Amino acid sequence: MKRFLALMMAAVCLFGALPQAMAEEPNPIPVLSPEEITPTPKGIHHYMLICIDSWAADLKKSGNHTDGMILVTVDEYAGRVMLTSFIRDMLIQRPDGDFGRLNNILDYFGRDKGGIEALITTLNTHFDLEIEKYIVVDFRQVENIIDAIGGVDIEVTAREANYLRNYPLSASSTTPALSGAGTYHFTGHAAVIYMRIRKVANIDGETQDVGRTRRARTVLTTIADSLKDITYDEAVALLDVVLENTVLTNMSAADIADALNLALEMKGTKIESIRMPIDGTFEPMPVSGMATQQIDYIKNREALHEFLIDPFVVVEDE
């Protein structure tokens, strides 16, 4: 009897583990080669905003994970400004060929190994993009930038307000003091905490990384709306604040000047946004102890291309 029970327990352990092992085998990821990536149409400019999960980031040290990743795309011919946010826990194929989480790329490859470049390469090969310019910031720098423009107005749900009150935030972090659902004027610190909420549903009922990406796009859109009447001198002053609060960027002085002029030309433009992945194209996939989301990259590349490329653009003659 003891031998029988031992065999039964061994069988349960063996066969009970098989479904889990099978569940942890992700689908192949259709990564594009550099030659397969669609060239960026003339007039479209990509700027990648990357926020590190730290209040005092140091790329020379380990532990740097990308908390927020938003692509700002400007189409000067179509007169469009677009935000594309990427969830942190999507399952990707690293440049070295192994599976991983998107937000771990920077820390895995490190600054000396080209961590930022590896992250940009991963986004390009997975989503058929030609991102070249990027700015990397941390939480404190985002706080400083938002404070430099005087804060932002944010609409919150009752549950979000309750979460923020229990965080806790000081009464002076919002105007008026948080008391329930409604629209409040947030300081930079309060706005960062708001963007990092994961377990509470937002206005659209979204939670976790999906909810976070929506909150980040909401704050960026609100900032853009608040700057629609900005003057050239004010824009230059704000740009100085941004550059003083940057961990790393590959934008030259000429790149920055071009971006500033483009921003001034597009000020007041309605901000459009999308999240990668789109609804219905991802599912939980535990891999090597990591909680990840398996993505249908084919459908998402198609959706992103349709979003970013306006089919009715009239291109100026050379």
pLDDT tens track for 215-228: 999 999 999 888 88
Query: Which residue, among 251, 215, 167, 173, has the nearest Cα to 67 in the 3D structure?
Result: 215
Q: Which superfamily does CATH assign the domain made up of 32-142+208-308 to? A: LCP protein (3.40.630.190)
> Above 90 in pLDDT, residue 153?
yes
Tokens of 226: 């608040």
pLDDT tens track for 181-213: 999 999 999 999 999 998 887 777 776 778 788
| Residue-level pLDDT at 22 | 45
Residues 6 or more apart in contact with residue 176 via CB below 8 angstroms: 184
The full DSSP string for the chain is -HHHHHHHHHHHHHHHHHHHHHHT-PPPP-PPPGGGSPPPPTTEEEEEEEEESSSS--TTSS---EEEEEEEEEETTTTEEEEEEE-TTBEEE-TTS-EEEGGGHHHHHTTTTTHHHHHHHHHHHHHT----EEEEEEHHHHHHHHHHTT-EEEEE-HHHHHHHHHTT--GGGEES---SSEEEEEPHHHHHHHHT--SS--TTS--HHHHHHHHHHHHHHHHHHHTTT--HHHHHHHHHHHHHT-SEE---HHHHHHHHHHHHHHTTPPEEEEEESPTTSEEEEEETTEEEEEE-HHHHHHHHHHHHS-TT--PPP-
What is the rounded CA–CA span in Å between residue 83 and residue 126?
17
Domain coordinates in residue numbering, the chain: 32-142+208-308
What is the rounded CA–CA span in Å between residue 112 and residue 93?
20
Categorize the per-residue pLDDT at 311 as very low, low, confident or very high, splitting at 50, 70 and 90: low
What is the rounded CA–CA span in Å between residue 202 and residue 194?
10
pLDDT tens track for 61-103: 888 899 899 999 999 999 999 999 999 999 999 999 999 999 9
Q: What is the pTM of this model?
A: 0.86
Tokens of 146: 């938002």
Categorize the per-residue pLDDT at 160 as very low, low, confident or very high, splitting at 50, 70 and 90: very high
What is the rounded CA–CA span in Å between residue 197 and residue 128?
30
What is the rounded CA–CA span in Å between residue 148 and residue 197?
23
> Above 50 in pLDDT, residue 245?
yes
Most confident of 14-28, 57-71, 258-272, 295-309: 295-309
Average pLDDT, the chain: 87
